[in-house]
Structure 1
């Protein structure tokens, strides 16, 4: 029985960590670019436009 409880706890901890990481990435302002994906593409485009012009 204890082995099963440990496995369940590890799965729960991994799932909670993943959800926490996704929430952190959603609200992390360093990587937000302006598009919904949060990849930073709009920020990269603005920086390259500023260099060119």
Structure 2
């Protein structure tokens, strides 16, 4: 439950910065960062990422 809450909080924070579709879907967009963050969290069981995602 702690992991899910941290991921939701990170997504909410990232969505606050979205101003264009590029910010959401682009090369370094929120969706791509979320997928990367979820992958790291699933593999390591941690919500923090050494890459700063």
What TM-score, normalized by structure 1, do the two folds share?
0.42
Larger radius of gyration: 1
Of Structure 1 and Structure 2, the greater helix share is in 1
What TM-score, normalized by structure 2, do the two folds share?
0.42
Kindly indicate whether structure 1 or structure 2 has the higher relative contact order, using CA contacts under 8 Å at least 6 residues apart. 2
